[in-house]
Amino acid sequence: MTGKKFIRKIENFTCGHCKAKVKGNGYTNHCPKCLWSKHVDVNPGDRAQKCGGMMEPVFLELTKKGYKLTHRCLKCDAFTHCKTTPEDNIEALTKLSESLAKKLMF
């Protein structure tokens, strides 16, 4: 069994959710403004996933290495994980965290 292979691809894109223009750096896999992503990779950077569905940020987790986002594909229900970045909108991260806290309380 082979491990995941990362392919660095520097691509700019327009967010499919909020329409923000995003400048990619080769590691960018979600919109830093709204945190949404698009289901395009099987392995990071390979663009081999045919689904193409929009991926909603559904969970924010603090790990030993920093914060990790979990996305759920609205088309095929797959889950993916990625690190947050310093460019990520702190208000969007806070809003996600607060909505999770409310769900856990009720």
Q: What are the pLDDT digits (tens) for 60-101?
A: 999 999 999 999 999 999 999 999 999 999 999 999 998 887
Q: Judge contact between 80 and 28, C-beta under 8 A.
A: no
Q: What is the pLDDT of residue 9?
A: 84
How many Cα neighbours within 13 Å face the side chain of 76?
Answer: 11
Name the residue ranges covered by the structural domains of the chain.
13-105
The mean pLDDT of 33-42, rounded to a whole number, is 96
**Residue 94, number of CB atoms within 10 A of its CB:** 11
Q: Cα separation of 13 and 21, whole Å?
A: 6
Q: What is the pTM of this model?
A: 0.88
